[in-house]
Amino acid sequence: MALFFYKEKNKDIRAAAYLRLSIEDGDKAESNSIGNQRELIRDFAAERPGLHLVEEYADDGYTGTNFERPGFKRMMEDIKSGKINCIIVKDLSRLGRNYIEMGKYLEQIFPMMGIRFIAINDNYDNANTESSDSDSIVVPFKNLLNDSYCRDISIKVRSQLDMKRRKGEFIGGYAIYGYCKDERNKNRLVVDEYAADIVRSIYRRKLEGMSAQAIAEQLNSENVLAPSEYKRLCGLNYHSGFKAGTHAKWQAIQVLRILKNEVYTGTMVQGRRQKINYKIKKIRDVEESGWIRVPNMHEAIIPQKLFDTVQEVLKLDTCASKGQQTVNLFSGIVRCGGCGQNMVRRTVSKNGKKYIYLHCVTNHNGLGCSSHLISESKLEEVVLAALQGKIQQISGLEHRLDEINEIPKNERRLKSVEEHLKMLEQEEQKYQTLRRQLYEDMSSGIVSKEEYKEFSHSFNEKVEAIRKAKAEMNRQRDCLNNLDVEHLPWIEDFKSYQNLTSLNRRVLVELVESITVYDKEHIHIQYRFDQEIRNVLEYCSSVPAEETEESAV
Ligand SMILES: [Zn+2]
């Protein structure tokens, strides 16, 4: 469209200041206040001599999604009558937020009527264009239009993908290492036996105490193809994982990714990374709480329990020193009894022999505490003995539990406990009533003060004993109620180490939560499942060993 009427652009401009504010539209009251808009437009006009502000139109509290606004309507009337020939706004969104409607005004109505339109903060002025380049008038506006269009499309695509993610359907381009896409359903993963074996071996090596770096190096020395190379070969239908030559090698980071990927437990995890928005292609990491996790979507390569243990190991490793081939036996597990911080290793050479000690890191860094020095071999010896004892105890526990569970049903036992409790309750009330009566008898002179003291003392003792018995019965009842003695997976964990003859990283990580060293003689070992173990021990002790079905009532 020709814009000849803008040629003498700063002459006889009868301008309207158009102001609009709508909190509902998300406008911020302070920055977009009517007063602010007015001031900005007045300043703008003051700097342009040919431009005269003749009228102000304000729509305070009217949304920009339509043009049903009194101020705007009055302004259009004044345009038609020729009173004004220019509209000035703070920014495009003051005119409106409905881009289709705005397009009509900006592209058709205003140009047709020869109205100049200025949006100060958007740097938009329809007079600032060459007549030959009429399209550029609407460029900023078109951008907006495109913008909303892109946004719509992007939201649609995203929500479709999200829907798939929520259903646990795999939407990635390539299957995760260890799996391939099901040929019949590309949103499903099936186990790739070759790569799955490598994944299993990576988890096994980790549990044996190897660092991610060491695992990567070992895989490379075994000529196992790195995931990217393997993927490439699979794409070429080349079904051997082994290949010599100089290709992409395994890196510690890939090993770590595999060790941390829950997908191997059969859970589909997606949405861990996302584009910032449809404009910015940059990818950002999503917080774990925002991940979309759907369990049991495909066959697991790594059992959940093993996966969990490895996550514990990885946590401990972050405390260990970097760059080592293997993680030290006690890394991240041993704490100082004085300050609760880690213990660090120190090697001391004496008469050509090397001795390894652990000591408090706080003290090592000169920040107080004391050394809490202990030799590593001594600690190993103590922990091994304790662990062997614990393993024996828990293995024996299983036998004892079997025995107890022979007694037809704990419900029966529970019933007897509850009856006992009821009886104790009645007993307690009886003595309390007696106590009250005794007091009344003393008040009315039936018993003497001395007699009262004597009886009262014995009643109190009785009530005390009853309360103790009640507490014990309650404890037994809680034990019976809260304990699922049929399902104690940790017993198997301990039992699997029944023939333990030396300490290794794996047994420590699986069975021990922490070791606190106070001094050579005082070492506290916190076992995993500690509370559960205690509950079971308590449960067992609450059932006399010789108890049989007949005597259980
Ligand atoms: Zn310390």
The reply to whether 488 falls in a domain is yes
**Average of per-residue pLDDT across 260-280:** 77
What pLDDT is attached to residue 375?
92
The reply to whether 164 falls in a domain is no
What pLDDT is attached to residue 47?
86
pLDDT, one tens digit per residue, over 542-551 is 666 554 444 3
Instruction: Quote the CA–CA distance of 174 and 190 in Å, as a whole number.
Output: 12
Instruction: Give the residue from 266, 286, 316 where a domain finishes.
Output: 316
* 202 and 142 in a common domain: no
pLDDT, one tens digit per residue, over 361-400 is 889 888 889 989 999 999 999 999 999 999 988 888 777 7
The helix or strand, by DSSP H or E, that contains position 180, with its residue range, turns out to be: strand 179-181
> 517 C-alpha to center of ligand 1: Å?
9
The reply to whether 49 falls in a domain is yes
Contact 190, 170 (CB under 8 A): no
Instruction: Give the residue from 316, 346, 363 where a domain finishes.
Output: 316
What pLDDT is attached to residue 410?
63
Closest to 374 (Cα-Cα) out of 391, 354, 394, 356:
356
**Average of per-residue pLDDT across 218-227:** 88
Whole-number average pLDDT of the chain: 79
> 379 C-alpha to center of ligand 1: Å?
16
Tell me the torsion sign for CA atoms 390, 394, 395, 397. Answer: positive
Residue 143 clears pLDDT 60, i.e. is over it = no
Residue 244 clears pLDDT 50, i.e. is over it = no
* 189 and 141 in a common domain: no
Neighbours of ion ligand 1 (CB under 5 A): 336, 338-339, 360, 362, 369
Other beta carbons less than 10 A from residue 259's beta carbon: 22
Residue 133 clears pLDDT 50, i.e. is over it = no
Other beta carbons less than 10 A from residue 324's beta carbon: 14
Residue 278 clears pLDDT 60, i.e. is over it = no
Following CA atoms 96, 88, 126, 21 in sequence, which dihedral angle do they give, to the nearest 10 degrees? Answer: -20
* 195 and 131 in a common domain: no
* 111 and 192 in a common domain: no
**Average of per-residue pLDDT across 13-19:** 94
> 504 C-alpha to center of ligand 1: Å?
25
> 369 C-alpha to center of ligand 1: Å?
5
What pLDDT is attached to residue 419?
85
Neighbouring residues of 513: CB distance < 8 A, sequence distance ≥ 6 = 333, 526, 527, 528, 530
> 366 C-alpha to center of ligand 1: Å?
10
CATH number at residue 244: 3.90.1750
Q: Which residue has the higher pLDDT, 515 or 50?
A: 515
Domain ranges, residue 424:
387-542
The reply to whether 552 falls in a domain is no
> 383 C-alpha to center of ligand 1: Å?
20
> 323 C-alpha to center of ligand 1: Å?
25
pLDDT, one tens digit per residue, over 430-451 is 888 888 888 888 888 888 888 8
CATH number at residue 26: 3.40.50.1390
Contact 134, 1 (CB under 8 A): yes
* 538 and 391 in a common domain: yes
pLDDT, one tens digit per residue, over 460-500 is 888 888 898 888 888 777 777 766 556 677 888 888 888 89
Instruction: Give the residue from 130, 149, 168 where a domain finishes.
Output: 149
Residue 170, Ramachandran bin (φ over 0: left; ψ between -120 and 50: alpha; else beta): beta
* 510 and 407 in a common domain: yes
> 337 C-alpha to center of ligand 1: Å?
6
Tokens of 207: 């549990």
* 204 and 78 in a common domain: no
* 524 and 392 in a common domain: yes
The reply to whether 142 falls in a domain is yes
Contact 102, 20 (CB under 8 A): no
* 521 and 406 in a common domain: yes
The reply to whether 113 falls in a domain is yes
The reply to whether 168 falls in a domain is no
354-375 as b/e: b if 16+ CB within 10 A:
eeebbbbbbbbeeeebebbebe
The reply to whether 355 falls in a domain is no
Contact 18, 95 (CB under 8 A): yes
Q: How many structural domains comprise the chain?
A: 3
Neighbouring residues of 334: CB distance < 8 A, sequence distance ≥ 6 = 342, 343, 358, 379, 514, 515, 516, 517
* 419 and 292 in a common domain: no
Lowest mean pLDDT among 78-92, 226-240, 370-384: 226-240
What pLDDT is attached to residue 365?
86
> 529 C-alpha to center of ligand 1: Å?
26
Cα 516 → chain centroid: 29
**Average of per-residue pLDDT across 150-166:** 67
